[in-house]
């Protein structure tokens, strides 16, 4: 048995997991239209590869990745591209973003997928290429392009793969449902991932409030371990506490080590992946199937029928709300993600994207709007709750004072924005909001400084070049003049004094030009 370690802080909000009936997947069906944002991940938006009016097939690439950190977008079904324009998307900023709209033709015809039999016949890089082609981005919430993350093997020695089935946010049961219903596929995907990154150990980490998921995974692992696994597979359960599923927190729970500040799990030889991502990688590698659907938890007491849906990417949230019998009378918030870290949507026209694990639709009583913030009474409850071992209260004062130096000294950038501090604060201070804003401002200030430094460097370089050119010209002129005078004095009676002066002048000019040349090229 692997020893599990404790982490600092954390909270125990009501779990509310039973509400959405975990363990059963409901097919969300095919809406009339799918709206696919070109940016469903962290990094550069994909570039549209189709035009309005094109007929597309399921699995066809609609937009391809641009640069190293990006992910392609594929058609989840067949139909006609009816628009490429900015639409509401799930994003905290609430700003519309470029989307491809497909009017589904209902035939659900697909391109031919290129399956392979034995992934071990391929090099890890060939498999990463398949993952990249499938447009997979981390499905746990952040949406980092998976292929990029897998390339960690080139720069770090990876020995452990962690499948993060913690799902510590209240309400959400999408991963739980996947683990209960597709444990074999998760284990298979995990083995492929382990092969790609070169890990010898695979740990499936799950909170102890999901006994069915734990059991399903254990069975799948046992079935594999009987002879055919290349890796050491461990299913580990640990006490339920928010935010145990934070990547850094989970690593400490499972290994007792802390990811260095500003570093990556890979610095410890660890790569973390979400179970949904593992299944998607398995599909991509073995079947050549791109990522076009996912499990989404629809939950909250404003729904008549909360459920876990298998929904195609691009499915408008309104479609799922209708399926779940949404009752708007007592609801005022539509939340993308969970109650702790999710963000409120302004419209249900926004679609399901690769990172949509949950749509939470609470009633007013269920998650009341917070009352006005009161003065900080410096009770320190926030510091007790902070999993990053920060002093949220100090950060709050410094954020209000806009004291960037103290903010960095108090490690603002180690804040994982989990919201535990705000949750416990008896004065209802929206602490995380201050940290997000402060991080943004500091980042901007740094970028501004970088930009102005670059501009200054460029300016100085130009000044120098101009000066150097002028000096060279002057030197040449002086040399020419000296030569001319020499000639003249040769032809007439040479005046030795004049000649000496001219020579000295020429030497001096030459020297100035030389010293200028000694200063390094920028």
Partner 1 sequence: MSWLRITSPHGHGPLSTQRVMQLVLLATLPGVVAQTWFFGPGTLVNIVVGGALALGFEWLAVSLRGREPRAALEDFSVLVTSTLLCIALPPYSPWWLLVVGIASSVLLGKHLFGGLGYNPFNPAMVGYVVLLISFPLQMSSWAAPRGLTTPPGLTDALSALLGTPLADGLTSATPLDILRQNKGLLMEDLYATTPQFGRWAGIGWEWVNIGFLIGGLWLLYQRVFTWHAPVAMLAGLGLAALIGYDGGSSISGGSPLLHWLSGATMFGAFFIITDPVSSATSNRGRLLFGALIGIVIYLIRTQGNYPDAVAFAVLILNFAAPLIDQYTVPRAYGHNRREDP
Report what 430 binds from ligand SF4, partner 1, none; CB cut-off 5-8 Å by kind.
partner 1
Report what 11 binds from ligand SF4, partner 1, none; CB cut-off 5-8 Å by kind.
partner 1
CB closer to partner 1, 178 vs 367: 367
Whole-number minimum distance, CB 419 to ligand SF4, in Å?
5
Whole-number minimum distance, CB 368 to ligand SF4, in Å?
18
Q: Is the peptide bond before 354 cis (omega within 30 degrees of 0)?
A: no
The answer to whether 80 touches 102, Cβ cutoff 8 Å, is yes
**Per-residue CA distances from 102 to 56, 174, 324, 422 (Å):** 8, 26, 23, 41
Whole-number minimum distance, CB 159 to partner 1, in Å?
20
Report what 58 binds from partner 1, ligand SF4, none; CB cut-off 5-8 Å by kind.
none
Q: Which two tokens stand for residue 303?
A: 């729904």
Residue 27 in 3-state DSSP?
Answer: strand
Report what 354 binds from ligand SF4, partner 1, none; CB cut-off 5-8 Å by kind.
none
CB closer to partner 1, 372 vs 497: 372
CB closer to partner 1, 91 vs 481: 91
Whole-number minimum distance, CB 159 to ligand SF4, in Å?
28
Whole-number minimum distance, CB 439 to partner 1, in Å?
13
Report what 522 binds from ligand SF4, partner 1, none; CB cut-off 5-8 Å by kind.
none
Distance CA 177, CA 183 (A): 10
Whole-number minimum distance, CB 262 to partner 1, in Å?
8
CB closer to partner 1, 263 vs 304: 263
Tokens 């981390």 map to which residue? 138
CB closer to ligand SF4, 439 vs 481: 439
CB closer to partner 1, 327 vs 510: 327
3-state secondary structure 484-518: HHHHHHHHCCCCHHHHHHHHHHHHHHHHHHHHHHH
In the complex, which residues of this chain contact ligand SF4 (CB under 6 A)? 376-382, 385-388, 390, 392-393, 396, 415-421, 424-427, 429, 431-432, 435
What does 421-436 look like in DSSP terms, one character per residue? Answer: HHHH-TT---HHHHHH
Report what 392 binds from partner 1, ligand SF4, none; CB cut-off 5-8 Å by kind.
ligand SF4
Report what 317 binds from partner 1, ligand SF4, none; CB cut-off 5-8 Å by kind.
none
**Which residues, 6 or more positions from 321, have their beta carbon under 8 angstroms from its beta carbon?**
298, 303, 348, 359, 361
Whole-number minimum distance, CB 286 to ligand SF4, in Å?
38
Burial class (CB in 10 A: 0-12, 13-18, 19+), 25: middle
* DSSP E strand stretches across 144-216: 160-164, 201-207
CB closer to partner 1, 284 vs 334: 334
Q: How many CB atoms are located within 10 Å of the residue 250 CB?
A: 26
């Amino acid at each position: 048995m692997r020893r599990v370690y404790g982490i600092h802080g954390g909270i125990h909000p009501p779990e509310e997991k039973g509400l959405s009936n975990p363990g059963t997947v409901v097919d969300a069906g095919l809406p009339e239209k799918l709206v696919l944002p070109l940016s469903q991940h962290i990094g550069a938006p994909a570039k549209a590869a189709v035009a309005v009016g094109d007929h597309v097939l399921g699995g066809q690439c609609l937009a391809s990745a641009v640069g190293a950190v990006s992910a392609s977008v594929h058609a989840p079904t067949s139909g006609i591209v009816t628009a490429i324009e900015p639409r509401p998307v799930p994003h905290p900023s609430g700003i519309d973003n470029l989307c491809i709209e497909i009017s589904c033709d209902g035939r659900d015809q697909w391109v031919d997928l290129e399956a392979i039999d034995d992934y071990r016949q391929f090099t890890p890089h060939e498999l990463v290429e398949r993952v990249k082609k499938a447009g997979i981005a981390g499905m746990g919430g952040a949406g980092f392009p998976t292929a990029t993350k897998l390339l960690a093997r080139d720069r770090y020695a990876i020995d452990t793969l962690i499948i993060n089935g913690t799902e510590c946010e209240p309400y959400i049961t999408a991963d739980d449902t996947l683990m209960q219903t597709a444990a074999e596929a998760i284990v298979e995907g995990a083995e492929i991932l382990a092969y790609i990154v070169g890990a010898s150990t695979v740990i499936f980490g799950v909170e102890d409030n999901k006994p069915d998921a734990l059991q399903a995974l254990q069975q799948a692992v046992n079935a594999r371990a009987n002879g055919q696994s290349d890796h050491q597979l461990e299913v580990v359960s640990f006490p339920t506490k928010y935010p145990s599923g934070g990547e850094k927190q989970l690593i400490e729970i499972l290994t007792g080590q802390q990811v260095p500040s500003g570093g990556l799990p890979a610095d410890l030889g660890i790569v973390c992946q979400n179970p949904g991502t593992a299944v998607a990688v398995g599909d991509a590698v073995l079947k050549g199937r791109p990522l076009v659907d996912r499990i989404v938890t629809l939950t909250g007491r404003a729904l008549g029928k909360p459920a876990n849906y298998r929904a195609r990417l691009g499915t408008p949230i309104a479609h799922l709300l209708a399926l779940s019998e949404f009752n708007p009378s007592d609801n005022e918030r539509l939340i993308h993600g969970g109650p702790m870290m999710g963000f409120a949507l302004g419209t249900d026209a926004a679609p399901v994207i690769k990172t949509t694990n949950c749509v939470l639709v609470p009633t007013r009583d269920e998650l009341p709007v917070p009352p006005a913030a009161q003065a900080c009474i410096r009770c320190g409850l926030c510091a007790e709750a902070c999993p990053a071992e920060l002093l949220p209260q100090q950060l709050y004062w410094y954020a209000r004072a806009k004291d960037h130096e103290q903010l960095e000294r108090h490690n603002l950038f180690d804040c994982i924005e989990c919201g535990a501090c705000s949750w416990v604060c008896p004065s209802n201070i929206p602490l995380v909001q201050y940290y997000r804003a402060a991080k943004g401002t500091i980042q901007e200030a740094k970028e501004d400084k970088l930009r102005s430094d670059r501009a200054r460097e460029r300016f100085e370089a130009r000044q120098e070049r101009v000066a150097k050119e002028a000096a060279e010209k002057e030197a040449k002129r002086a040399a020419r003049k000296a030569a001319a005078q020499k000639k003249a004095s040769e032809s007439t009676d040479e005046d030795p004094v004049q000649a000496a002066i001219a020579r000295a002048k020429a030497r001096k000019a030459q020297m100035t030009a030389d010293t200028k040349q000694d200063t390094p090229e920028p």
